[in-house]
Structure 1
Amino acid sequence: MSETVEQVSAVLDRMGAPPALASRLAAALGPGGATELAANPWLLLRLPQVTVEQADFCARKALGEAARPDDPRRLSALTAHVLRMSARRGHTVVEEKRLATIVGQLGVPRPSDALEAAVADESAVVLESMEDSDDDFDFEEGGVPEIPDSERYYALPDVGHAEQRLGDQLLRLMTGNEPIMDAMTAAETVDEAADKGGFTVADPTRQALVTATLRPVTVLWHGPGDAGEVARALLCLHAIAADSQVGIAVAAPTAQAAAELNADLAAVAEEPPVRAVSLPELLAQAPVTAGLVVLQESMSVGAARAAELVSACGDDTHLVLLADPRQAPSATPGQVAVDVAASRTAHAGEVTAPGEPGPIAELALGVAEGDVPDVAAPDREIVRVPAASAEEAAHRVVQLLTDSIPRALGVDPEHTQVIASREDGPAGARALNAACKERLNPGPGAHGGLDVGDRVLLAADGPGYGPGDTGYLREAGERTVVELSGGRRVEVADPSALCPGWAVTVAAAHGGRWTAVVGVFPPEVPVSRPQVYTVLTRAVRHVSLVDATDGGLATGVRDNASAQRTTRLARILREG
């Protein structure tokens, strides 16, 4: 236990809070956290598991009569607490009236005081955007447009500033950029690349690639089963970049996703002239000098990460966001690709593969329409495994990972990912990781619960790696070394950034793709359409769905469509 954690633990003990919270709270508060916590016990609300009532109890014990309901420290902490809960749901901002309502529901008689307190101590920032203007007027008839009112939003400082930075940097690209080629030359280059490679691209794909050549920022939508067409499109974009001598950089959110994309490219071209890298690997090379930058699986990238990428691009860069709009939005705040397209300041196109979809894509398309249809899978592309309980579901998962899938399909556990719909519970990621480790790499967990040879998930940034990367722990002790997908090894500065990766949640899996996937849906866990769709589209060759929901999976797909997120990016871009 570090000195900082020990100090925080001592403060928690004095205020009657469990010392077990010390490690997470110390990480949330940073250096000097113990001093800050002693002066402001409501900082306990930085942890999502702490309730307002618990924080008030600890404050009364620590501060005595000084712990008043109208204490500015309390009011600020409550406001920031609401903003953090919203950010965990993916919102970048909360509209002022809604924030005041929610804070009022926490028992604050004058919510405006709480909002002011949060801004005063910099726990929150205020951001303004103009309402959409009324374009329904006629100058010829003497009409004058009404000046729109401004709307006030509140955000956590890091979240709000990241989205504003992203908008500003996108506008930089949009306003100072020239076409890479003219439309006719771009179309001819696409055709020549296809002829040389011995493949064809669909007409919508061809048109989309020309658009990306002309426009500084483009969103290219695709669907399940379009991996081959995406690879062909990237080869054509490489030809455009080569002929115009601007260079191209292709990135995927994680090393694992980059490895799968490179496999797709190799399936189209024997020696692909372009290679995808992980987004952390690309950002480590900043500034990015390529004149054409392509981000695959961009639905999984939040506003902060996207801001890093766009900021690293040069003024004359053309940015292409490849995205499947049916997927769940990013695990972090924002909905970048959706907002960029909705702003109408960027252009959108479609990368569409001709022909009938394969079984996994057919099932995913059915889910996108609110159904879970029975799909023919002659090569065992889809296996649905019913389970009567969470415990049985967990047993089935281990059986599939270690026996059934390797034996029936020849896919070893290294290329299979278990994706759980929740973190805790008998069939949650935590319990499944323990069960998988026992079968695949038993050991004492000598290094923070891990052993060399364990599959791991990275939960923090570092040189060449980032949250969502999975790999294998190769060295532990003096150095912590992880081998990522594709064979690249990285040294992880903080071993606490590693956690077991045999099983991951849907949020952690978003942005990755694996040869085989085992999706787990235990009983009494809310299921949504984007969640199931995202699980299905993580699989390249096979998906097993372990279903212990007793009909809840189909009901969730039918009834729980995607929830709307509150963001400002589209407004920032429109206001220019």
Structure 2
Amino acid sequence: MGAPERLVEPLLAALGPRAAEELAGDPWRLLTLPGATLQQADHCARRLLGDAASPDDPRRGRAVVGHLLHRAAREGHTAIEEARLAGALRSMGVRSPDDAMTAALDDGDVLAFEVFPDSGAEDFTGDEAPEMPEPDRHYGLARVGLAEQDLGEGLVRLLATSEPIMDSATARETVEALGARLGVEIAPETAAALVTLALRGVCVLTHGPAAMAAVGQVVAGAAAIAADSEVGVAVAAPTARAAAALRAVLPGDAPEVVSLARLLETGAGGGHGRGAERPIEAGLVVVAGAMALDVEQAAALVDACADGTHLVLLADPALAPSALPGQVAADLAASGTAAVAALPDAPDPGPVARLAAAVADGELAQVAAPGREVVVVPADSAGEAAHRAVQLIADSIPRALGIAADEVQIVTATRGGEAGADALNAACKARLNPGPGAWHGFDPGDRVLFAAAGPGHLAGEVGRLRETGEDGAVVELADGTAVPVSAPGTLRHGWAMTIAAANGTGWPAVVAVLPPEVRWSRPQVYTAVTRAERHLSIVHAAGPALAQGVREVPTVTRYTRLVDVLREG
């Protein structure tokens, strides 16, 4: 095929047994693989086509457009502005970006979206109508772009069709009755947020690292409002573990909290049983951990909300955006179309929450932790950081703090490298569950991470491999649900995971590995810190770059279209 040897197996998996014929017809199809480079694809083309291989070949231009948009999607962007994309194409030797973009559009995997800027029509007087401005044109992967468009249009539908569940006075009375029943004083900010969700169709309720009590009161209050109004309530979190953690802080008569996959009845191939034809049977839908929602998950959620449903997203805006494309909660809050209210932090936050609050303010501070809630473990290199992390999960934390290794999660910046998730998982596998890897590299007892959605789970869910056989395997999730796995390629070992993949879920103890040679940002460090519920061990090998990133890189930039879609709607 002319492809590098290490890419042959992934190519066969991606293109099937006819991969050689596919590449012979279009050698630049090599770029469909995430790990392939343009240099490798050009080399493949020269071997197959000889002198006929040309940088102006339309197949090359089309493939480079797709390659750039796939790379952008992996970085979280949903669309790229035309001029920016054209510049990137020129830098990769594409002399006619317009022709390349047209070829990509003709292929069907790429779509163009137009956004009309404000015309300034209010500045015109007289009888002549102002000329329409030229639209801004953006390109994106069809799957991602359509999901974002559907999401925006679905949110506009909910905003247009919703009516108050109850009036504000009755909502306040319901909240007061809830506080009396629970024997707690509900903060004015929390009470105001509950009134807001009763009145408005789409709400974003923001909170900080020490707001778990307020989040629990919002869920309990939403259930009380729904019960008094007889509209029904559904409550979900990104993963089964996150759902169990939220349920643990709710009163005994609170509603069931389920994973988003269970709420949407996610099935094979990532499809969902719930949707427009079979919507969620609740007039009030509450989703916690909403910063973890990407555009495809959020589009499926909104599609499953019937007209008139009230949708409430609970989100910590200091977190990094979702692991997959989009920044749904942040864009929705910024659009001005949804109601936004802030929940209060607890007055006496613990050491982990105090550290998180300092990071959110741009400071990598030392915090008092008399109960060893926060421990910093210095390391001189990535290799030493990996060694320390495995010691912590396998021995130090269980022995010193009584938190079992099963309840300790390692998070790190990337999959690759000496201190990346792949290397850490290999070391944890050898230490915590050694075995031959008889089922495609896995053994019963392995902790596993789902890399893609499937029956009963979304990407990012962590579970325990319980059974393997000729027909597949069974993974047990944190809520006890057993989910079948037929494709081993959807699984990775899960003792260690990237910080991005961990967004939306917490663990009793977290080992945050901070290796050198990483471009750190404030949201990334904040996300790592806030994955810990009781204990945080920071394995620090990043040197001064860590504090510099927290101080000087306050946001993660993503290019998305959701704000424009909402405002146009």
Bucket of the pairwise TM-score, normalised by the shorter protein: over 0.9
Q: 1:277 and 2:258 equivalent?
A: yes
How far is 1:495 from its partner? 2.2
The amino acid across from 2:336 in the alignment is: R
Deviations 1:308-356 (A, max 9, x none): 1110111121101110011000111111011111111111011213413
Aligned pair partner of 2:481 in 488, 509, 532 = 488
Q: How does 1:205-224 map to 2 (within 5 A)?
A: 205-224=190-209
- CA distance change for structure 1 residues 353 and 452 in 2, over 3 Å: closer, same or farther? same
**What does residue 97 of structure 1 align with?**
83
CA distance in 2, matches of 1:179, 1:535: 38
Does residue 197 of structure 1 match 2:204? Answer: no
Preserved CA contact (<8 Å) 1:522 1:547:
yes
Kindly state the Cα deviation for residue 98 of structure 1 after the two structures are TM-superposed: 1.0
Partner Cα distance (1:254, 1:544) in 2:
23
Aligned equivalent of 2:25: 39
Aligned counterpart, 1:174: 159
Alignment correspondent of 2:74:
88
Counterpart-to-counterpart distance in 1, 2:309 and 2:473? 36
Counterpart position of 1:152: 137
Change (3 A) 1:325 1:68: same
Q: Distance in 2 between matches of 1:122 and 1:71?
A: 18
Shift of 1:133: 4.6
Matched, 1:391 2:376: no
Q: 1:10-409 to 2 correspondence within 5 Å? A: 14-15=1-2, 17-29=3-15, 33-134=19-120, 137=123, 147-265=132-250, 269=251, 271-284=252-265, 286=274, 287-409=279-401
The one-letter code matched in structure 2 to 1:423 is: R
Please report how far the alpha carbon of residue 273 of structure 1 lies from its aligned counterpart in structure 2 after TM superposition: 2.2
Distance in 1 between residues matched to 2:24 and 2:467, nearest whole Å: 39
Distance in 1, Cα, partners of 2:16 & 2:283: 39
| TM-fit CA distance, 1:125 | 1.0
Q: Is the 8 A contact 1:226 1:352 kept in 2?
A: yes
1:431-473, CA deviations, whole angstroms, 9 ceiling, x for partnerless residues? Answer: 1111111221111111111110011111121121111110110
Partner of 2:269: none
Match of 2:268 in 1: none
One-letter amino acid of the structure 2 residue matched with residue 68 of structure 1: S
Q: 3-state SS of the aligned residue for 1:385?
A: strand
Verify: 1:517 aligned to 2:502, yes or no. Answer: no
Q: Distance in 1 between matches of 2:467 and 2:169?
A: 54
Deviation, structure 1 residue 244:
0.7
**Shift of residue 145 of structure 1?**
7.3
Q: Does structure 2 conserve the Cα–Cα contact (< 8 Å) formed by 1:76 and 1:123?
A: no
CA drift of 1:234 comes to: 0.5
Distance in 2 between the 1:67 and 1:138 partners?
54
- 2:146 and 2:70 map into 1 onto residues whose CA distance is 15
Q: Which residue of 1 aligns with 2:409?
A: 417
Partners of 1:542 and 1:83 lie apart in 2 by: 39
Q: 1:252 offset after TM fit, Å?
A: 0.8
Per-residue deviation, residues 50-75 of structure 1 (Å, max 9, x unmatched): 22121011012112333222111111
Letter in 2 for 1:275: E
Letter paired with 1:448? H
- C-alpha distance in structure 2 between counterparts of 1:311 and 1:37, whole Å: 38
Instruction: Indicate the residue corresponding to 1:556 in structure 2.
Output: 549
Map residues 528-539 of structure 1 onto 2, 5 A cutoff. 528-539=521-532
Mean Cα displacement is larger for which, 362-371 or 25-34?
25-34
Structure 1's unaligned 5+ residue stretches are 1-13
Q: Which amino acid aligns with 1:281?
A: R
Give the SS at the match of 1:476: strand
Cα RMSD for the two superposed structures: 1.9
Aligned to 1:480, the other structure's residue is in SS state: strand
Q: Give, in angstroms, the shift of residue 136 of structure 1.
A: 6.2
Distance 1:510 1:30, change over 3 A: farther
Q: Which amino acid aligns with 2:545?
A: G
Task: Report the CA distance between 1:155 and its aligned residue.
Answer: 0.7
Looking at structure 1, the residues matched to 170 and 506 of structure 2 have their Cα atoms a distance apart, in angstroms, of 34
The TM-score, its normalising length taken from structure 2, stands at: 0.94
Q: In structure 2, what is the Cα distance between the partners aligned to 1:539 and 1:145?
A: 56
Rounded Cα–Cα distance in structure 2 between residues aligned with 1:390 and 1:121: 43
Q: Give 1:427's aligned amino acid.
A: A
Shift of 1:482: 0.4
Alignment length, in residue pairs? 557
Deviation string 1:203-255 (CA, Å, 9 cap, x unpaired) is 11111111111111110000101112101110011000111111111111111
2:270 match: none
Looking at structure 2, the residues matched to 105 and 247 of structure 1 have their Cα atoms a distance apart, in angstroms, of 55
> Tell me, what secondary structure is at the counterpart of 2:249?
helix
Change in Cα spacing, 1:572 to 1:33, as seen in structure 2 (3 Å) is farther
Runs of 5+ unmatched residues, structure 2: 266-272
Correspondent of 1:459 among 443, 446, 451: 451
Flag the 1:22–1:259 CA change in 2: closer, same or farther, 3 A. Answer: farther
Deviates more, 1:114-123 or 1:95-104: 114-123
CA–CA separation in structure 2 for the residues paired with 1:409 and 1:132: 58
Shift of 1:107: 1.3
- State the alpha-carbon separation in 2 of the partners of residues 541 and 531 from structure 1: 19
Change in Cα spacing, 1:257 to 1:35, as seen in structure 2 (3 Å) is: farther
TM-score if structure 1 supplies the norm length?
0.93
Question: What secondary structure is seen at the aligned counterpart in 1 of 2:189?
Answer: helix
> For residues 519 and 395 of structure 1, what CA distance do their matches in structure 2 show?
13
Closer, same or farther: CA 43–487 of 1 in aligned 2, 3 Å: same
Give the corresponding residue for 1:448.
440
What are the Cα deviations for residues 357-383 of structure 1, in whole angstroms up to 9, with x where unaligned?
Answer: 221111111111221011111111100
Whether the 8 Å contact between 2:320 and 2:556 is mirrored in structure 1 is no
In 2, Cα distance between equivalents of 1:22 and 1:264 = 50
**Deviation string, structure 1 residues 261-314 (Cα, Å, up to 9, x no partner):** 11222xxx2x14212111111110512111111111111111011001110111
Letter in 2 for 1:521: L
Distance 2:171 2:425 in 1: 49
Q: 1:70 to 1:146 in 2, by over 3 A?
A: closer
Aligned pair in 2 of structure 1 residues 32, 247: CA closer, same or farther (>3 Å)? farther
Indicate conservation of the 8 Å contact 1:202/1:354, yes or no: no
Report the Cα distance in structure 2 between the residues aligned to 1:102 and 1:282, rounded to whole angstroms: 40
Q: What SS is found at the alignment partner of 2:56?
A: coil
Matching residue's letter, 2:544: G
- Aligned partner letter, 2:458: G
Letter aligned with residue 359 of structure 2? V
1:162-221 per-position Cα deviation (integer Å, ceiling 9, x unaligned): 100111111111111111111111111111112111122211111111111111111000
Contact 2:416–2:423 (Cα < 8 Å) also in 1: yes
Aligned with 2:139: secondary structure? strand
CA deviations over 1:85-132 (Å, ceiling 9, x no partner): 111111111111111111111112221111111112223211011213
